Amino acid sequence: QVQLVQSGAEVKKPGASVKVSCKASGYTFTSYGISWVRQAPGQGLEWMGWISAYNGNTNYAQKLQGRVTMTTDTSTSTAYMELRSLRSDDTAVYYCARTLPIDLNAFDIWGQGTMVTVSS
Amino acid sequence: QSALTQPASVSGSPGQSITISCTGTSSDVGGYNYVSWYQQHPGKAPKLMIYEVSNRPSGVSNRFSGSKSGNTASLTISGLQAEDEADYYCSSYTSSSTHVVFGGGTKLTVL
């Protein structure tokens, strides 16, 4: 079946970096984009950015520009999200989500989420 | 403060219909037919319920419907069921450099 499986929980110190993986299966990886969405504890959803699995083009949320990098490895159908210079307010569950080709705003398959805790 | 405004909570009895609103601006909801709605149960990943204002993905009950008028989009759930109790988020494409914005979420309680 179509699914996205993310890497496990991470605990990082302020200033460090984290890289979360998202392995796709059950569909043609390069036919869809992957978006990343995060959710701080008890809070709403926040869009972080999108990457085309076809050609690697990216769009990032302005507030994360310069700290976030999204990449894909088509040989393993895996997407990655790296966030640098971590702060306490980066503590959140990070989700990857398959994005419909014609609608950057439609996320039809979601990963299970990866908890990232930033604490000294 | 979220870019799109949703009521914090709504409630209804089983069998009733409820509507959740999502208000934005002409730069997002009002300017594009790219509004989506997501359902999220506690501790779970969100689930796409509506995309492009009123389209339902395969497998989503036809009790869920979406619409838009001006800068406000709406999600209507008819024939409320206990399993509909969840948080609901709207999102929209936006012309700003952020590209996609979410609402703050609405907690639906089935009485």
pLDDT at B1: 56
Size (chain A), residues: 120
Chain A residue with CA closest to B6: the answer is: A44
Could you give the count of Cα atoms lying within 13 Å of B110 in the half-sphere of its Cβ? 15
Q: What average pLDDT score do residues B78-83 get?
A: 97
Checking if the pLDDT of A104 tops 90, the result is no
Strand order in the sheet with B64-69: B18-23, B72-77, B64-69
Nearest Cα neighbor of B105 from B19, B30, B20 is B20
Q: Among B44, B92, B99, which would you mutate to test the A interface (most chain A Cβ atoms within 10 Å of its Cβ)?
A: B99
Checking if the pLDDT of A117 tops 70, the result is yes
Chain B residue with CA closest to A95: the answer is: B45
Checking if the pLDDT of B109 tops 80, the result is yes
Predicted confidence (pLDDT) per residue in B22-45, tens digit: 999 999 999 999 999 999 999 999
CB pairs under 8 A between A and B: 72
State how beta strands B106-110 and B9-12 pair. Answer: parallel
* Contact residues for B64 (Cβ-Cβ < 8 A; gap 6+): B37, B49, B50, B56, B75, B76, B77
